[in-house]
Structure 1
């Protein structure tokens, strides 16, 4: 059957509403006239010259510009079969992705290396040295214990206890600061003492204030004078007349000022208190020369504080012997001084040599020189 005859058959058997385009109602342009007989045999195979059924014709009608003919359809199929559309294979995708993945990994590795080297080269900041902060941590409000060795914490504990009027704990903390020679922290703590407490009613605080001034004068400068120290220690001794340590310290203040008679009185009282003996009459004697006649101990002495008091008496007698006021009895005073020195050194030589005394905060360099000079004398 010719193409023109096939088209007429399809158009005559199609339903009226089936054409999807108005162009389907008109016959296609054909160069051969309809009256031309089919004189030439079809070159197509016999299987393709069979008459199409109505169902096939309904599926074959499509809205295209050129209606497919029987001779075109096999050629199109043969062309598609010979040249199928090529899809990108999995191997081809891998060839594209692998180089990109490798470059990305190398970039990440280089960035990590440079970042790590930068951390190693830089100096640690204070924040790096701090322990990690726990978000659930709540700072505690109780005061720090007094037994710690951190001077700043000791000062804080002393101030807090002063505010709470816990005087024994505050005084213990300040004493530990002075034992460690932490003078700045001790000063901060003692500056917190209220003005109404700076009297003989608070003897231990007065003693600690005098000690701060004494140690400060030897090492840090002249913020405190010997007069300041003497005033504090007098208040302490007035507040507690039975405290031998306060009288002992006050004797060193008198001696530093050249007040040999007062120093001898105070040290003689301290020795009697340490040995639980009656206070000698020389302590309250009106005559200065009589005040220098401190009686020696009636028994051997092992108490270091009592020996310190007798060592002070020896120093006071030597200082008085050099005073023009006592020039007439200077020789006797020097003999008494040497006797006290010998008694002290025989009782406890290890505690009263130059090395040991240099570690005692009461003994100043000038006092150590005088003690060494006294050792060269003979009774």
Structure 2
């Protein structure tokens, strides 16, 4: 796509964000930059003005408005801004470029200099594409990390009124779920944020999940829940062929999560990572730890009440151990091979006796944790006699 095409996508993304929440001052400012890139100075000026009305302290919008007015030749309108500006006096590279542009314009030089000098700090942002730009609008992470203090994102009240429980997340759009996840994280509501992020991952909205998770994980790199969710994001991304993530990424995030919080859910996920890497001993130990974690939490061994999440974790660990036994039997002498296969059959039967439906290959294909390779191996385990 040419540059004009990217700007058009950026403008569309900003409009979409503002349709959700028209009170985002920085998005109006960024929309003005994109319109300015198109040469639509009148609309850009309106966007900058709207941004300033929403946030009078948004100095970048004042800078951009001044430049736009000067490019229009409207020095009279720009002069009050020049006199009343309270810009940061620390001369960063961006500030120096801005000052130089303004001086050139006031001296009567060509507007092209302005475009090159003033807009360049934001050029990378405008060319990122509609997906990240829309995420920026909803989550504010790109600007927060690079240009702005952490913003307080305000969603329309109707969005919060609509979503009052985890079940309600299924009935709202992905963009609203993304915004809610970001808002909950900003407020420290990790339980609600986790539910929203898991909804994104369940939908396969991996770009949106990454937009929410990446900035907060930088600040809370040791948080077990965030690491587990980031590991899940990497795992699902690898399974759909996304080269931005690797199996090693998923395993490392899950190792961090298990180290900080050794619970069965995290251990089961880590077991699958080890299994996929071919590290059968580590996978086996990790799934055994998952069973131990379940027993310690419930004070009873059991794969009872198969429909409960806890029982599901227990059965998943048993299924994992069955996979290991079946896989390990392949290169063993006949006698040991028979022993391992018998062990795999016993474990398999334990799983199917408690939940004969969820562990059928067709159902496992709906489970994010089970990759195509694991399901193929499970089919082989089911076929053992």
TM-score tier by shorter-chain length is: 0.5 to 0.7
Work out which of the residue numbers 272, 289, 293 in structure 2 matches 1:273.
Answer: 293
| 1:366 aligned onto 2:373 | yes
Q: Equivalents in 1 of 2:376, 2:330: separation in Å?
A: 15
Map of 1:191-210 to 2, 5 A cutoff?
Answer: 191-199=214-222, 202-210=223-231
Deviations 1:54-98 (A, max 9, x none): xxxxxxxxxxxxxxxxxxxxxxxxxxxxxxxxxxxxxxxxxxxxx
Report if the CA contact (8 A) 1:213-1:228 is conserved: yes
Instruction: Name whichever structure is richer in helix by fraction.
Output: 2
Shift in Å, 1:259: 0.8
Return closer, same or farther for 1:328/1:260 CA change in 2, 3 Å cut-off. Answer: farther
Report if the CA contact (8 A) 2:330-2:337 is conserved: yes
| 1:236 aligned onto 2:236 | no
Identify the residue that residue 248 of structure 1 maps to in structure 2: 268
Shift in Å, 1:168: 2.5
- TM-score calculated relative to the size of structure 2: 0.53
Report if the CA contact (8 A) 1:155-1:173 is conserved: yes
Report if the CA contact (8 A) 1:229-1:253 is conserved: yes
| 1:156 aligned onto 2:176 | no
CA RMSD in angstroms, aligned pairs only? 2.9
Shift in Å, 1:139: 4.8
Q: Equivalents in 1 of 2:286, 2:177: separation in Å?
A: 33
Return closer, same or farther for 1:271/1:353 CA change in 2, 3 Å cut-off. Answer: same
Shift in Å, 1:320: 1.8
Shift in Å, 1:172: 2.2
Work out which of the residue numbers 175, 178, 191 in structure 1 matches 2:201.
Answer: 178
| 1:349 aligned onto 2:349 | no
Which structure 1 residue ranges, 4+ long, deviate > 6 Å from structure 2?
none
Deviations 1:268-308 (A, max 9, x none): 121232244799xxxxxxxxxxxxxxxxx677673222111
Return closer, same or farther for 1:178/1:277 CA change in 2, 3 Å cut-off. Answer: closer
Report if the CA contact (8 A) 2:265-2:290 is conserved: yes
Deviations 1:31-63 (A, max 9, x none): xxxxxxxxxxxxxxxxxxxxxxxxxxxxxxxxx
Shift in Å, 1:220: 4.0
Report if the CA contact (8 A) 1:258-1:319 is conserved: no
Map of 1:184-333 to 2, 5 A cutoff?
Answer: 184-199=207-222, 202-241=223-262, 243-276=263-296, 302=306, 303-323=311-331, 329-333=336-340
Report the secondary structure of 1:195's partner residue.
helix
Q: Equivalents in 2 of 1:222, 1:323: separation in Å?
A: 32
Mark the runs of 5 or more structure 2 residues left unpaired by the alignment: 1-11, 25-152
- TM-score calculated relative to the size of structure 1: 0.54
Q: Equivalents in 1 of 2:188, 2:313: separation in Å?
A: 30
Report the secondary structure of 2:345's partner residue.
helix
Q: Equivalents in 1 of 2:195, 2:304: separation in Å?
A: 32
Q: Equivalents in 1 of 2:189, 2:312: separation in Å?
A: 30
Deviations 1:223-276 (A, max 9, x none): 2111110010111111112x2100111111011101111111111121232244
Q: Equivalents in 2 of 1:155, 1:179: separation in Å?
A: 13
Return closer, same or farther for 1:358/1:308 CA change in 2, 3 Å cut-off. Answer: same
Q: Equivalents in 1 of 2:187, 2:278: separation in Å?
A: 41
Report if the CA contact (8 A) 2:303-2:315 is conserved: no
Deviations 1:98-152 (A, max 9, x none): xxxxxxxxxxxxxxxxxxxxxxxxxxxx9xxx9xx9xxx9859743435442111
Q: Equivalents in 2 of 1:299, 1:188: separation in Å?
A: 37
Report the secondary structure of 1:186's partner residue.
helix
Mark the runs of 5 or more structure 1 residues left unpaired by the alignment: 1-125, 280-296
Q: Equivalents in 1 of 2:234, 2:331: separation in Å?
A: 27
Identify the residue that residue 80 of structure 1 maps to in structure 2: none
Shift in Å, 1:156: 1.9
Q: Equivalents in 2 of 1:139, 1:196: separation in Å?
A: 26
Identify the residue that residue 283 of structure 1 maps to in structure 2: none
Report if the CA contact (8 A) 2:217-2:226 is conserved: no
Q: Equivalents in 2 of 1:335, 1:354: separation in Å?
A: 21
